[in-house]
């Protein structure tokens, strides 16, 4: 019976709760906050180089490339067909993100620049053709390495609506790069003739600048296709707005008149409405604020390790509630403050109801002197008290998922 309940709950939450898309500790930025985005994208390369399945982001180091072709035809000094198969591009986890532009509310052009100290492409190859008048032919393992590789990606696109949500649809991606040194090594050239192969490798490396100049357009085209796929995967999976900090939480009317919240917040855990899964608050916002009228209090450990004080309060009808006090929460707009029977003397209160399903989630509190009728939400001097049994932490939901999986596996 219990298993059934869990499964139902999980299905409901999975369809409404966006928060599950990001790994724990993943920093989200506000739209247009280029400085934060630089750090966030940088961390995506460095800390999450193994990939983020929730976002459909493949592993970036190594970036596994099944197939890639560099075809250079025409009358130029280089005329080759170079096929790569099952190659790994390594080094992206050491990237420094130099530029990230255009990540705005209504994105059209976006741009990113990264510096990779050492980027290597290692794996199977097959080559046929002519390099600076010399014939070249072979099949085996190759290594192409670039030092101080500056990669620039620019793409265009627009927001499109799919299943009621806005997704960024990438139209065209352009790539360019520069490097201070290009090394190449092809094993098993000329059917394993070592003398011929060694000579050719030597020759290629001695003339790397000319070779790179000739091959650059084809290399750029090949990599642009690969990066386009990587980026498109993410944009196709995650609604555009959800790649950013929950603006509803951090830019709620509650905070618009007061000091700006910090530029970035490490999201620890989400509180969501138990009835409908709508976002309510973050565990980051838990406050240590005691009501002198509380009947008792206890500590509750949230999934991210943070402690929350749960206080028991009683209303004039004798109904008891267990509450958690938070700095900010997302509540529907309701009228007028009440000055009567406040659990926090000096503060007026009004109800906090879920903006989506109208479930009673708790109360908003505001100092008496600023609790004016034209103020819908608390200022930074105010706070929120959430009824612990009407919200649920996302970490807890994840633990249910784990339990469900454990039950299924048994
Ligand atoms: Zn709700």
DSSP assignment of 253-281? HHHHSSPPPPS-EE---EEEETTT--EEE
Tokens of 18: 């966006």
Burial 234-258 (b: 16+ CB within 10 A, else e): bbeebbbbbbbbbeebbebebbeee
Tokens of 173: 């991606």
Distance (angstroms) between ligand 1 centre and the Cα of 94 equals: 43
Q: Can you tell me the mean pLDDT for 140-163?
A: 93
CA 317 to chain CA centroid, Å, is 46
Distance (angstroms) between ligand 1 centre and the Cα of 391 equals: 9
CB burial class (10 A; 0-12, 13-18, 19+) of residue 162?
Answer: exposed
Distance (angstroms) between ligand 1 centre and the Cα of 361 equals: 8
Distance (angstroms) between ligand 1 centre and the Cα of 262 equals: 27
Q: Are 292 and 380 in contact (CB under 8 A)?
A: no
pTM: 0.57
Distance (angstroms) between ligand 1 centre and the Cα of 87 equals: 48
Distance (angstroms) between ligand 1 centre and the Cα of 27 equals: 25
Q: Can you tell me the mean pLDDT for 301-308?
A: 74
Distance (angstroms) between ligand 1 centre and the Cα of 263 equals: 28
Distance (angstroms) between ligand 1 centre and the Cα of 381 equals: 26
Distance (angstroms) between ligand 1 centre and the Cα of 21 equals: 20
Q: Are 379 and 257 in contact (CB under 8 A)?
A: yes
Distance (angstroms) between ligand 1 centre and the Cα of 358 equals: 6
> What are the residues whose beta carbons fall under 8 Å from the beta carbon of 181, sequence distance 6 or more?
146, 147, 148, 208
Instruction: Kindly report each contact of residues 100-104 with a partner whose C-beta sits within 8 Å and lies 24 or more positions away, as own/partner.
Output: 100/34, 100/37, 100/38, 100/41, 101/34, 103/29, 103/31, 103/32, 103/34, 103/37, 103/244, 104/31, 104/32
Distance (angstroms) between ligand 1 centre and the Cα of 171 equals: 37
Distance (angstroms) between ligand 1 centre and the Cα of 182 equals: 57
Q: Are 289 and 277 in contact (CB under 8 A)?
A: no
**Residue 290 CA: distances (Å) to CA of 66, 308, 315, 351, 378:** 59, 12, 16, 19, 18
Q: What is the pLDDT of residues 386-399, one digit of tens each?
A: 999 999 887 766 66
Q: Are 108 and 119 in contact (CB under 8 A)?
A: no
Q: Are 126 and 136 in contact (CB under 8 A)?
A: no
Any idea which of 227-236, 255-264, 316-325 has the lowest mean pLDDT? 255-264
CA-angle at 92, arms to 91 and 96, nearest 5°: 115
Q: Can you tell me the mean pLDDT for 295-321?
A: 86
Q: What is the pLDDT of residues 171-193, one digit of tens each?
A: 999 999 999 999 999 999 999 99
176 torsion bin: left (phi>0), alpha (psi -120 to 50), beta (else): beta
Distance (angstroms) between ligand 1 centre and the Cα of 325 equals: 18
Comparing CA positions, the residue from 340, 364, 335 lying closest to residue 352 is 364
**Residue 149 CA: distances (Å) to CA of 87, 117, 123, 266:** 18, 6, 19, 31
Distance (angstroms) between ligand 1 centre and the Cα of 154 equals: 40
> What are the residues whose beta carbons fall under 8 Å from the beta carbon of 159, sequence distance 6 or more?
106, 107, 166, 167, 168, 169, 240
Ligand 1 is an ion; its neighbours by CB within 5 Å are 273, 275-276, 278, 354, 356-357, 359
Confidence (pLDDT) at 256: 36
CB burial class (10 A; 0-12, 13-18, 19+) of residue 362?
Answer: buried
Distance (angstroms) between ligand 1 centre and the Cα of 274 equals: 7
Q: What is the pLDDT of residues 234-272, one digit of tens each?
A: 999 888 888 887 643 444 333 333 333 343 445 667 888
């Amino acid at each position: 019976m219990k298993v059934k309940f869990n499964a139902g709950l999980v299905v409901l939450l999975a369809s409404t709760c966006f928060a599950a898309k990001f790994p724990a500790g993943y920093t989200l930025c506000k739209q247009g906050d280029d400085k934060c985005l630089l750090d966030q994208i940088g961390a995506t390369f460095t800390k999450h180089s193994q990939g983020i399945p929730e976002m459909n982001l493949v592993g970036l180091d190594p970036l596994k490339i099944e197939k890639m072709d560099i075809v250079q035809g025409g009358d130029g000094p280089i005329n080759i067909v170079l096929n790569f198969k099952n190659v790994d591009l390594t080094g992206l986890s050491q990237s420094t993100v130099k530029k990230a532009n255009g990540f705005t509310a209504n994105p059209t052009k976006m741009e990113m620049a990264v510096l990779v100290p050492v980027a290597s492409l290692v794996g199977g190859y097959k080559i046929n053709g002519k390099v600076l008048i010399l014939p070249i032919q072979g099949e085996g393992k190759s290594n192409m390495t670039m030092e101080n590789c500056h990669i620039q990606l620019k793409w265009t696109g627009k927001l499109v609506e799919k299943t009621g949500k806005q997704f960024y649809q990438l139209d065209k991606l352009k790539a360019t790069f520069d490097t201070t040194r290009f090394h190449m090594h092809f094993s098993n050239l000329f059917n394993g003739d070592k003398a011929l192969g060694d000579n050719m490798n030597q020759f290629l490396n001695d003339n790397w600048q000319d070779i790179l100049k000739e091959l650059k357009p084809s290399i750029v085209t090949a990599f642009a296709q690969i990066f386009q796929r990587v980026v498109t995967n993410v944009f196709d999976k995650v609604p555009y707005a959800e790649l950013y900090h929950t603006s509803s939480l951090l830019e709620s009317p509650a905070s618009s008149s007061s000091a700006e919240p910090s530029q970035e917040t490490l999201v620890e855990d989400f509180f969501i409405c138990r009835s409908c899964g709508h976002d309510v608050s973050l565990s980051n916002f838990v406050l240590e604020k005691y009501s002198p009228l509380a009947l008792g209090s206890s500590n509750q450990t949230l999934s991210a390790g943070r402690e929350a004080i749960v206080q028991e309060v009683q209303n004039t009808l004798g109904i008891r509630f267990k509450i958690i006090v938070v700095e900010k929460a997302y509540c529907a707009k309701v009228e007028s403050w009440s000055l009567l029977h406040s659990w926090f003397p000096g503060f007026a209160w009004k109800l906090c109801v879920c903006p989506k399903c109208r479930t009673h989630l708790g109360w908003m509190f505001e100092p008496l002197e600023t609790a004016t009728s034209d103020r819908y939400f608390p200022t930074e001097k105010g706070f929120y008290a959430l009824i612990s049994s009407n919200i649920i932490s996302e970490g807890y939901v994840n633990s249910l998922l784990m339990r469900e999986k454990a039950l299924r596996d048994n």
